[in-house]
């Protein structure tokens, strides 16, 4: 997850920002500053640096961070619900195939690849394999919807994929737990 937040997200946001048709001219300084303007990326990188340095953060600073951390899941669920406002159940014909492909890749292919890698490449024990598969089954994150809204691209597809992968997550997790023991 840290790899996604500290590496994949900054690269993806930089690419999205650079391909924005409203942007006329891109300077090197602007391009390098894109990852620094995402607070989630900055927090992930700072967390990695503090952890790697072995510095003990005083409780006076750590307690408010713990409080915010405890709020993240409920807040993300609220934001997810808010992002569904205006989502139509029926999609245009042009959005159905990309949505179904995104759901198939996220809820089917990704967990299958995770299982293959965990079991046969990394040779993880059964519990470790289940953890990897369970993480792969988790639904499309709210961050995908937020990026789609931020850049005005494929918002309905992102919202629909998030809803469908969320609905599929529970039965898939139960199935993975049953199959993987």
| Least-confidence region, from 78-87, 97-106, 137-146 | 78-87
Instruction: Give the E-state strand segments of 22-90 in sequence order.
Output: none
Task: Please count the other Cβ atoms lying within 10 Å of the Cβ belonging to residue 69.
Answer: 10
pLDDT of residue 24: 66
Residues 17-59 have pLDDT tens digits of: 777 666 667 777 877 887 788 777 888 888 889 889 999 989 9
Polymer length of the chain:
181
C-beta of residue 51 within 8 angstroms of C-beta of residue 76? no
pLDDT at 130: 96
**Residue labelled with tokens 């937040």:** 5
- Mapped onto helix, strand or coil, the DSSP state of residue 51 is helix
Rounded distance, CA 20 to CA 101, Å? Answer: 24
89 has a pLDDT exceeding 70:
no
**Rounded Cα distance, 102 and 126, in Å:** 28
Model confidence pLDDT, tens digit, residues 116-151: 999 999 999 999 999 999 999 988 777 788 788 777
């Amino acid at each position: 997850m840290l790899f996604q937040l500290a590496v994949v997200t900054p690269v993806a946001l930089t690419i999205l920002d650079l391909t924005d048709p409203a942007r006329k001219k891109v300077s090197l300084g602007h391009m390098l500053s894109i990852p620094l303007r995402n607070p989630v990326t900055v927090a992930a990188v700072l967390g990695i640096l503090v952890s790697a340095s072995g510095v003990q953060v005083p409780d006076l600073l750590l307690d408010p961070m713990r409080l915010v951390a405890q709020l993240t899941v409920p807040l993300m669920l609220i934001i997810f619900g808010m992002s569904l406002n205006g989502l139509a159940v029926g999609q245009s014909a042009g959005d159905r195939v990309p949505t179904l492909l995104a759901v198939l890749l996220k809820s089917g292919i990704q967990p299958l690849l995770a299982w293959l890698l965990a079991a046969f490449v990394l040779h993880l024990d059964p519990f470790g394999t289940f953890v990897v598969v369970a993480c792969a089954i988790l639904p499309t994150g709210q961050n995908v919807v937020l990026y789609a809204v931020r850049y005005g691209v494929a918002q309905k597809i992102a919202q629909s994929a998030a809803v469908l992968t969320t609905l599929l997550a529970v039965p898939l997790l139960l199935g993975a737990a049953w199959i993987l023991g």
